[in-house]
Amino acid sequence: MTLRPLLLSLAIASVATGTALSVHAETAKTDNAATPASTKAAKLDALYAEYWEAYLKLHPVEATFQGDNRYNDQLPDSGSAEYREKTRKFTEDWLKKIEAIGADGLAGQSLISYQIFVREAKDDLESYQYPDWMMPVNQMFSLPIAAVQFGSGTGAQPFKTVKDYDNWLARGNRLPVLIDTDIDNMRQGIKAGVVQPRALMEKVLPQLAALIKDKPEDTLLWGPIQSMPESFSAADKTRLTEAYREMIGERIMPAYRKLHDFIDKEYLPKTRASVGLDKLPNGAAWYAYGARKSTTTDMSPAEIHQIGLDEVARIHGEIRKIMVETGFKGSLQDFFQFMKSDPKFSFKSEDALLAYYRALEAKINKRIPEQFSLTPKAPFEIRPVEAFRAKSAAGGEYMQPSEDGSRPGIFYVNTYDLPTRKTWDAEDLYLHEAIPGHHFQIALQQELKSLPAFRRFGGETAFIEGWGLYAESLGKSLGVYESPYDYFGYLQNELWRAIRLVTDTGLHSKGWTREQVIKYMLDNSAESEVQSTAEAERYIAWPGQALAYKIGELKIKSLRAKAERELGTNFDIREFHAEVLKDGAVPLDILEGKIDRWIAEKKKG
């Protein structure tokens, strides 16, 4: 999965309501019908550039993620009604501007950009009818945790100059305002019956408690002071130290305690026993929307559920072949238990686990030229997940590099509960999160300077995570999965993504309980109870997100199979991978259209 804790979605959308707007759009289309395509494309490119500048100003945290430091001192109250309306109006206005140009005559990148902008804008505007702002805190995300990732000195917020330190002072001092907004929104959620499941909020309390300290010096937010550059003047060092001590001790920690106590005493008693999104007001439509948006398809939850069941059965069959190959005697469940419990699959220490991944990096890099002609220039690092969030974090996560190259792409490896981190799980996880998975796709996308910025820094989950899962399937071609047990690791993780289709839709459209989901995972895979519990609760917290992986992978695999079948000996895997990646993340139907055009051009040539 990709790690973007405060990412404010680029998925903008449209509600073209009202006769006047409909007439305006139709008239604009007619007026532009005779405009040369090159002129229209140039106009659109200029609008996209103007849009992106306005977008970053409205979303300064996103600018920081991109390495654009102009707004590093700003932190808008993004949960407030005023800000939500401001962003909705922003999206609606920009959609009108783009649709006024129209798509007639556009081709190539110009057409793709238009289609993506309009589609995402309409998706985003549709989302405003669903009150996710009433549930701003869960175990996967809360403002205090995101702030620590920013303000600890190891995240996207830079701490190199005195101005950098003053920028975070301005942002950090805003945190109490945003936390008060979160509390107010949760109170509105209580009144409206839109509250989080109790199982999730019970996990939030220890997360918050771990961040709250009596002394500022004992908090993770003290990190920038501990690592203050020697080049700072004595006066600046003294001033900043005192200012950070006051900010953390007198503003941030009291706000964190306020949120903790509110959740503990007021919110937790009002949480719900149910876990499905469909149990909330208008929840069935809310989840169906999330499934469409996540997968970039029109598939219903019921259709996705059946695909999941079919894939689980197919992959079980592949794992039984591994059992025969290794001479294992027993049932599928016995084999899962063996893979989970045999000590030969365990790492002896955190250092050994990290060393294993770093050796994989060197091994896989040697074979990359055989599969890829298009690769990113951005640097790459492997780091352990920070201890304060490791318990609820995924097994691996990727954070994209900054545009200017000052921050590398980072593969975060979770070393929490070391006995559950298996050797057979490492190769496919690396392929997915690192190379050639997320690091190749996301870093490369940022480097595609010819694309509009909203495409370079945006993305479709189905494409991004579908590519990550597809990258796992390349293991044998890249010199890994040499033992049947390591290949089992790939199958197990493909199985895991198929199980997600079953369990996510089960939770949010079929009345499945948290316990039912955990049992299904344990019965049908080799995942540990710790991981199964964390994953089940992740699906509860992020309805629909987990559907993207398998649906995206199946589409990429089907397009590759089609290209191999139709091109025969003219099929070049490096060309195919370049064609998939060269336009950045796109909706799956747009991906299919461009691969079809590539196949047709290759056949002509």
Residue 591 in any domain: the answer is: no
The reply to whether 567 falls in a domain is no
> Residue 385 — pLDDT band, cuts 50, 70, 90?
confident
Same domain? For 196 and 323 the reply is no
**What percentage of residues in the chain have a pLDDT greater than 90?**
83
- The pLDDT-based confidence of 430 (bands split at 50, 70, 90) is very high
pLDDT at 448 over 80: yes
pLDDT of residue 10: 28
- Local structure of 52: helix, strand or coil: helix
Asked if 252 contacts 175 with a C-beta cutoff of 8 angstroms, the reply is yes
Do 103 and 234 share a domain, yes or no?
no
User: What does the pLDDT look like over 301-350, one tens digit per residue?
Assistant: 999 999 999 999 999 999 999 999 999 999 999 999 999 999 999 999 99
pLDDT tens, 99-156?
999 999 999 899 999 999 999 999 999 999 999 999 999 999 999 999 998 999 988 8
C-alpha 166/C-alpha 548 separation (Å) is 40
- Mean pLDDT, the chain, rounded, equals 91
pLDDT band at 381 (very low <50, low <70, confident <90, very high): very high
Question: Can you say how many angstroms the Cα of residue 343 is from the centroid of all Cα atoms in its chain?
Answer: 33
147 and 244 within one domain: yes
pLDDT at 12: 23
Residue 175 contacts residue 169 (beta carbons within 8 Å):
no
Residues 55 and 156 in one domain: no
Instruction: Please state whether beta strands 409-413 and 396-399 pair in parallel, antiparallel, or not at all (unpaired).
Output: antiparallel
Percent of the chain with pLDDT over 70: 94
Position 237 pLDDT exceeds 60: yes
pLDDT at 419: 87
423 and 540 inside one domain: yes
In the 8-state DSSP scheme, what is residue 386? P
Q: Are residues 202 and 312 in the same domain?
A: no
At 24 the pLDDT is 28
pLDDT tens digits along 17-30: 222 222 223 323 33
- Domain identity same for 340 and 261: no
Task: Report the distance separating Cα 466 and Cα 550, nearest Å.
Answer: 6
What is the pLDDT at residue 188? 98
- Cα separation, 170 vs 342, whole angstroms: 52
Three-state secondary-structure class, residue 387 = helix
pLDDT digits (tens, 9 = 90+) for 502-537: 999 999 999 999 999 999 999 999 888 888 998 999
Domain membership flag for residue 597: no
Q: ∠ CA 591-593-595 to the nearest 5 degrees?
A: 70
The answer, yes or no, to whether residue 2 has pLDDT greater than 90, is: no
Beta-strand ranges (E) seen in 261-408 are: 380-384, 396-399
Q: Are residues 367 and 457 in the same domain?
A: yes
Return the pLDDT at 4: 38
What is the extent of the structural domain holding 434? Answer: 290-548
| pLDDT for the residue 306 | 98
- Classify residue 149: in a domain, yes or no: yes
Q: What is the CA radius of gyration of the chain?
A: 24
Cβ-Cβ contacts under 8 Å for 341 (sequence gap 6 or more): none
Return the SS3 of 281.
Answer: coil
Sheet holding 380-384, edge to edge: 380-384, 409-413, 396-399
* Burial class, 356, CB count within 10 angstroms (exposed 0-12 / middle 13-18 / buried 19+): middle
Do 157 and 30 have their domain in common? no
**Res 31 pLDDT > 50:** no
257-288 pLDDT, tens digit each: 999 999 999 999 999 999 999 999 999 999 99
Query: What domain count does the chain have?
Result: 3
Return d(Cα 437, Cα 553) in angstroms, integer.
12
In a domain, residue 281? The reply is no
Q: Is 596 a domain residue?
A: no
- 117 and 224 inside one domain: no
Query: How does residue 553 score in pLDDT terms, banded at 50, 70 and 90?
Result: very high
Specify the pLDDT at position 66.
Answer: 83
DSSP 451-470: S-HHHHS---HHHHHHHHHH
Burial tier of 562 (Cβ tally within 10 Å: 0-12, 13-18, 19+): middle
Asked if pLDDT for residue 423 goes beyond 60, the answer is yes
Among residues 504, 533, 548, the one where a domain terminates is 548
Q: Which domain-ending residue is among 246, 273, 300?
A: 273
Of 316, 311, 193, 172, the C-alpha closest to 246 is 172
Q: How far is CA 269 from CA 280, 477, 555, in A?
A: 17, 53, 44
pLDDT at 1: 55
Tell me the average pLDDT across 392-418: 84
One domain for residues 378 and 502? yes
Burial letters 41-57, b for 16+ CB under 10 A, else e: bebbbebbeebbeebbe
Q: Give the mean model confidence (pLDDT) for residues 54-78.
A: 95
- Residue 393, SS3 per DSSP: coil
pTM: 0.85
Backbone angle region of 215, left / alpha / beta, with phi > 0 → left and psi within -120 to 50 → alpha: beta
Among 273, 298, 316, identify where a domain stops. Answer: 273
Is residue 505 within 8 A of residue 304, CB to CB? The reply is: yes
Q: Are 416 and 471 part of one and the same domain? A: yes
How much is the average pLDDT of 38-57?
A: 96
What's the longest Cα–Cα distance across the chain? 73
Would residue 495 count as lying in a domain? yes
Whether 10 maps to a domain, the answer reads no
CA distance 130 to 312: 32
